[in-house]
Every structure is written in structure tokens, then in C-alpha cells.
Amino acid sequence: MKVIEKFADEVIASGSYEPLDRVYVINKIKALVGDKDEEIKENESTVEQLVEIAVDREIIPDDVTSREVLNDQLYDLATPTPSKTNQIFWQKMQNSAKEATDWFYKLCEDNNYVKKEAIAKNVVFSGTSSKGHGLEITINLSKPEKDPKAIAAAAHATGKKYPQCALCLENEGYVGGYGKNARSNLRIIRMNIGGRPWGFQYSPYAYFNEHCIFLDQKHIPMVINEQTLINLVDIEKQLPEYFVGSNADLPIVGGSMLAHEHYQGGRHVFPMMKAKIKKSVKFEKYPDVEAGIVDWPMSDLRLISTNSLDLIDLGSQIINFWDHYDDVKRHIKAFDGETRHHTVTPIMHRDGEKFVLDLVLRDNNTSDEYPLGIFHPHAELWHIKKENIGLIEVMGRAILPGRLKSEMEEVKKYLLGKDNNIAESHVKWADELKANNDINENNVEEVLEQALVEVFENVLQCAGVFKNDADGEKGWQEFTDALVENIGK
């Protein structure tokens, strides 16, 4: 058997075609890679070999984008159509949500939409900071470097794009190209969330287990309000084993995709979800809701209840109150004229029958001293982390840039007194590590990992509006006193 024939059999075995379709499938493959079949190479997957054949025959150019487009077109053949995928998913949902998501996630791994091999390259470890917070560190190495041709195409793109953004429903089955995402093998589950049509898909370069995205079927901007909480509860009722959360809806404190309403979720227990309430807050009008301030570097108010309606109602009032709350002493300012500076990062998970809602208070004010954000990583931390603190990092999982993999190797050499090419930005930090630790070959890795945990703790402390010190506790007290009084009216 040769490689085209072998892949045709793999396509049929996937269930997307029947054995009677074999000649048809072979011709579909040949339309993409050429008519002549070749011997199978044992050290490559069939799709990898087919892409190489197409490059060798100059059917496609030898660049990252063209390879990715063809890879996804081939895997699309081994993927059920969107209607069939949805039919199977919802049939399995009749048994259990876990059965449905297990099936759908495996499909997205098997058809290479979830880039399992690329994700495995990420550096991942965890530790406990000196403040006692468990944290997770990842150095993101899975996403491929941007293709220079794709960068150039994006720079010269004019007019309305199709699809409008990377989250739009119109990406499903979209071939892509230079400056456009390849999505031939993308499948999106249609869901009704909060009374509106939404979609559910997995992230191709997952940051944690079964990292998924819930997206509004319309391209509308993100907004955090009562409807957000209604939607999060609805998702938790349908997929109770997943957490779900939204990035904040403002620049600096929000995610990178504010133009399209969406949430993220998945099967992962984040450090923040394990953190305990350190101080209870009582809301007399809501006896069914347990509330309190969470022992966490960022400013998190948690609500817990089996009564989802009360949870939504109280959570909405907290969001609205925070939207207009000022604390001049702590540089907390809700508005500049019509410009809003306050929002929350809302996150929900289930604890048995209980809904657990974390509302992390966010403020995107800037100042002369902190031009990128007062509640943003400060300059002394930029050598490790300069980017916005989004949903995943709020929960205690750092997404650090890929450059750090090689840079940390040079820091290790510097710490051990070996020849090195340490980046100037890391020298002061490395000198402090040297001064405070007896470093040798046996412990240098551990020292460096712990140092990254401490940096991430400081990053999150920067992003907290009420700091974990005496003044921050006073700020929390003033805020919750005013909040309780307001809600009691």
C-alpha cells in the first residue's frame, strides 16, 4: 500500500466516509497533492508525507502558511461534517456532558485541530510563592513563528475581512492563506447560551487541559454585565465539569480579542479555584449566598450558592457598584468623563451542586509613572512579563513568552559562572538570585523555577487593586462596607 491509499483508508476509518467512498476519497487527496502515489515512509505520519509530496512537486510553495493550509485540508477529509459532528455531540450529551466533551476533544486531537505535538513543547511547572500562593508557570512554545509572507499580507490588507476575526463562526471550514488562519478542519458545536445562539470549540494551541472557547455567533464586542453571569451559569448547567470565564472587556486589563464576545473554559483546576476565602462578607438580602474576599494576589470577591438566580442578581449588583467606585488614595478611579476604567474578570466553576463565581476587580487607569497601567506588571518585571494579565493568568497560570526558554538557559550559565550570553534585562535579577542563594549544578534549575514563581506572584500583586498589605486590607474594608450598605438599600 502507498501513502495516498493509506491515508484514504485512515479517512474511511475515521467515520467521515464509507468504504464505498474509497475511490472518491483517493481522488480528493490526489486533487491536493498530485496523482502519483509514493511509497510510505515509516518515520512520518501520512499527512506529513503528503504535505512533503506537494512541496516537492511544487503544488504548494515551501512556506509555513502553505503547509498549514494543506495539512488542515487533508485532515478535514478525516473529520465529520459540521452537521454530523453536532449530531454526534448532542446524541452523546443525552448520556452525559463528559461523554460528549471526551468525544469532541478526541476528534479535535485526532484531526490535528488541537495541535497536540506542538502543545507538548511548552515548558510547564508549578510552585508555591513566598506569600503561600500556589502558582503555575508555562513558557509558550507551541505557536509557530509568524510566516513573513503572512505578516506582509496582513499589513497590506484593506477593506472588510472575511472572516471578520479569528473567533467568528465563519472560520469553520475556511481554507485560509497568507494573513488568514487555516481552519479547514475546525468544527464548532452549536449551543443555546442565555437564550442566544453561541458556538463551542477547542483552542488549537491549548494553554491547559481541554482549553475551549465559547463564542457568540454574531461578531459583537465583549461586554461584562448581568447577561454575562446568566451565560456563565447556563454553560455550567450544560457542561458542569468545565470551568468557564470571561476576559475583562476593557483594554490593558482585557484579553486580545475585545471585538468578539467570547469566553474560555476547560477541564482544569486553577490555583485561584483552590484558594480559600480569607474574610467573609455578609449580604443580608442574600442568605443563600456565601461571599468573601479570597486569599489571592489579585482582588477577588467570591460568591458561592446553589441558588443561581441569587448568585446572578448579587453578582450583577457588585459589578455595577464596582463600575462607579472611586478610591483616590489607592489610585482607583472609575471614570474619566465618559471613559470607563472599571470592570471585572468573572470566572465560574461548580463544586457539586454549588455554583462558585469569582469576580476579580479590574482597573485600567494609567499614570505618568505607570503608562502601561497602574494595575499592570511594573517595569522591573518586564524582563519576564510585560503583556496584559488576562483570564488565565488571573487564575494563577502564567503564560510567559517563548523567548524565555533560551534566555533562561543563558541565565543558568550566568548563575553557575559559565560563559554565557545573558540578556542585559536579566542581569540585575540574576545578581539578586546569586546574592540570596548558594547556587550549584544540582539546584540551579530549582532556584530559577522558584524565582519565576516569585516574579509571577509579583506580577499578580501589581494587577490587584487592593494590595495584600495593611493598606490594601483597609481598602477592601472600605469597599465592602460601602458595597454591603448599597446592596442593603
Q: Which residues contact 432 (CB under 8 A, 6 or more apart)?
A: none
With H, G, I as helix, E, B as strand and everything else as coil, classify residue 400: strand
Confirm if 64 and 70 have CB atoms less than 8 A apart.
no
Tell me which DSSP letter residue 248 carries: B
- Widest CA span of the chain, in angstroms? 78
Distance CA 253, CA 272 (A): 18
Grid cell in block for residue 82: 459540521
Report the pLDDT value the prediction gives residue 155, as an integer from 0 to 100: 60
Sign of the torsion formed by the C-alpha atoms of 49, 52, 58 and 64: positive
| Below-70 pLDDT ranges, the chain | 144-148, 150-159, 489
Distance CA 334, CA 270 (A): 29
Report the pLDDT value the prediction gives residue 407, as an integer from 0 to 100: 97
Grid cell in block for residue 110: 485526532
Strand order in the sheet with 243-245: 189-193, 196-202, 212-216, 262-266, 243-245, 342-351, 354-363, 300-305, 290-294, 277-280
Cα distance from N-terminal residue to C-terminal residue, the chain = 77
Residue 423 burial (CB count, 10 A): 16
Tell me which DSSP letter residue 36 carries: -
Report the pLDDT value the prediction gives residue 142, as an integer from 0 to 100: 84
Segment 348-362, tens digit of pLDDT: 999 999 999 999 999
pTM: 0.95
Report the pLDDT value the prediction gives residue 487, as an integer from 0 to 100: 94
Residue with cell 487564575: 395
Report the pLDDT value the prediction gives residue 1, as an integer from 0 to 100: 84
Confirm if 209 and 266 have CB atoms less than 8 A apart.
yes
Report the pLDDT value the prediction gives residue 42, as an integer from 0 to 100: 86
Residues in the chain: 489
Report the pLDDT value the prediction gives residue 144, as an integer from 0 to 100: 67
Using DSSP bridges, classify how beta strands 342-351 and 243-245 pair: parallel, antiparallel or unpaired: antiparallel
Distance CA 188, CA 199 (A): 6
Report the pLDDT value the prediction gives residue 143, as an integer from 0 to 100: 73
Distance CA 101, CA 286 (A): 34
Report the pLDDT value the prediction gives residue 161, as an integer from 0 to 100: 86
